[in-house]
Amino acid sequence: MISPWDRWYSTSCCLCCHVRTGTIILGIWYMIINAVVLLILLSALYDPVQYRYHLTSSELGTDIDVMDDANICIATAISLLMILICGMATYGAYKQHAAWIIPFFCYQIFDFALNTLVAISVVVYPNTVQDYLQQLPGTFPYKEDIMSTNNVCLVFAVLLFIGCILSFKAYLIGCVWNCYRYVSGRGTTEVLVYVTTNDTTVLLPPYEEAVTIPPKDPPPQYVEA
């Protein structure tokens, strides 16, 4: 009987490229995004007057500092950690080290779980969508048109959008998992043994293959004359 893991296992993703190539591209893409975010945060730390965002009293009735120095430092540390995790996944897929891919896979699972909780909260508390729209600034485009939409249709649209995001994230999780299985499988099946002497180096196959010697024929029986 074929297990569900083997049934969904494939060495190709996006209908054209290998799972190793897809994981490398995905890791580089995440690194670029987090590098841009890191540059913005470092610029905010360097020049806080220019990049700090204040909500005016005309919007929320009070002056609130959304991004203070502590939040910027925390976001900077998270961006650095994400760059490290994505770099490990890219290196692990390129050099075929399966253990380096695990942190990025765990991050994908955590991100998928958070988005799932958001979808569940929208289903359980549908009024949160309207509350979120009311907190948006007045200059937000089409705010009044969106708020005038029926609440049921609005919740359905939000759930449809989150469902598309979750489906895409699940597909990327499957690609990274297949890459991990492919790399770990190659690591276990292509084990080579090096025997080094004073002047030569001999490359031997795995021990299980080396010890499979065909049985010899028994010696002929002794017959007295």
For 32-53, how does the pLDDT look when each residue is reduced to its tens digit (9 = 90+)? 999 999 998 888 777 766 555 4
CA 135 to CA 97: how far, in whole Å?
Answer: 46
- pLDDT band, residue 101 (cuts 50/70/90): very high
Domain boundary assignment for the chain:
17-59+66-199
pLDDT at 66: 52
- Residues 90-115, mean pLDDT to the nearest whole number: 93
Q: Would the pLDDT of 210 be above 90?
A: no
pTM for the full model? 0.68
**Amino acid, res. 224:** E
For 154-178, how does the pLDDT look when each residue is reduced to its tens digit (9 = 90+)? 888 889 999 999 999 999 998 899 8
Helices (H), the chain: 4-7, 19-46, 48-51, 57-60, 69-95, 102-124, 127-135, 143-147, 151-189, 207-210
- Residues 6 or more apart whose Cβ sits within 8 Å of residue 146: 133, 154
